[in-house]
Structure 1
Amino acid sequence: MKEVYRGAFSTHANGHALARKIIQARYYWSKMESDCYEYVKRCMKCQMYVNNIHMAPAILHNLTSPWPFSMWELDMIGPIKPKASNRHRFILVAIDYFMKWVEVASYANVTKNMVIKFIKRDIICCYGLPGRIIMDNGTNLNNKMMTKL
C-alpha cells in the first residue's frame, strides 16, 4: 500500500482510488478499501493540502491600465543567498501593467527611504507620475511615506 501511494508514480489519491490501484497491481485483502481510507487519512501531505483542492474558484478581476506607465506593481525579492559580488541581497522590481515594462534595482538593505527614492528616480522621473501603484503587504512597501508619495 505504501509503495502504491507514495512510490515513484504516486498521485496521493483518495482511499477508493488507492484501492483500485492496488487491485491493478494484483493485490487484494478483505478489508483493503477501509485500510486504504485509513492510510490516506494519516498522510500529512494530503491533510495539509486537502482544503486547497476543494476551495471554490475565486472570481478573477481584470486589471487594465488605460495608458502606458499609468499603473505599476512593486515587489521585493529577497533576501537572496548568497549575496551578490556587490553585497546586495534584495531586488526591488516595478512592472508596468500596460506594456509589461520592468524596472529593477538591487540593494544591500532595503529601507523605506530607498523604496521612495527608487520610485522617484526610476519611475516618476522617467515615465511620469503613475495613476496607481500596486504593492503587496511588505513592510518596506506599506508605510506613511508611500501614502504621501
Structure 2
Amino acid sequence: MNKFALLSGMILHFYHYGIFFNIKLYQHHAAAAHLGRRKTLFRLTSRFYWPHMRRDVTNYVRACTLCQQYKPTNQKPGGFMKSVIVSEPWHTVGIDITDPLPKTRRGNRFILVVVDYFTKWIELFPLQCIKANTID
C-alpha cells in the first residue's frame, strides 16, 4: 500500500506505518552507533516522517539495552589521571599493598607490590603486618 504525495515541493512516500517504523528505526538507530534519542531522531527526520515519531524514537531508545547500559549517565566520570613520562628505570615507581590474604606458613598475610613505571618490572614482598613502622 504505497502512496505518493506532493507537499511543498517534496515528494512524500507513504508506507504501511508499523512495518516501516520498525525497520527504519532499527536501521538508523544501529547506524548511529546507539548514540541515543537525539542523534537517532536527527538521522530519521532528515529522510523520513511518521506521526508521533519523536515519541516512538524515545521509547525505542529507552528499550535499547545497549543505550541504557552505556549512556553517559551510567558511566563514572573520568579521573584526574595524567600520563607519567619516565626517562630511566626505577626513576618512578608505583607501590600498593594487597588486601589480607590467607596466612602462609611463615605468617605472611599481605603482599607489598612495587612496579617500575619505565620497565614495568614488578617486585613482590611478603608482609606479616602492614603498619608503617614494620614495613622496611
* TM-score category (smaller protein): 0.3 to 0.5
Q: Which structure is larger by alpha-carbon Rg, 1 or 2?
A: 2
Question: What's the TM-score, normalizing by structure 2?
Answer: 0.47
Question: What's the TM-score, normalizing by structure 1?
Answer: 0.44
More strand by share: 2
Higher relative contact order (CA 8 A, sep 6+): 1
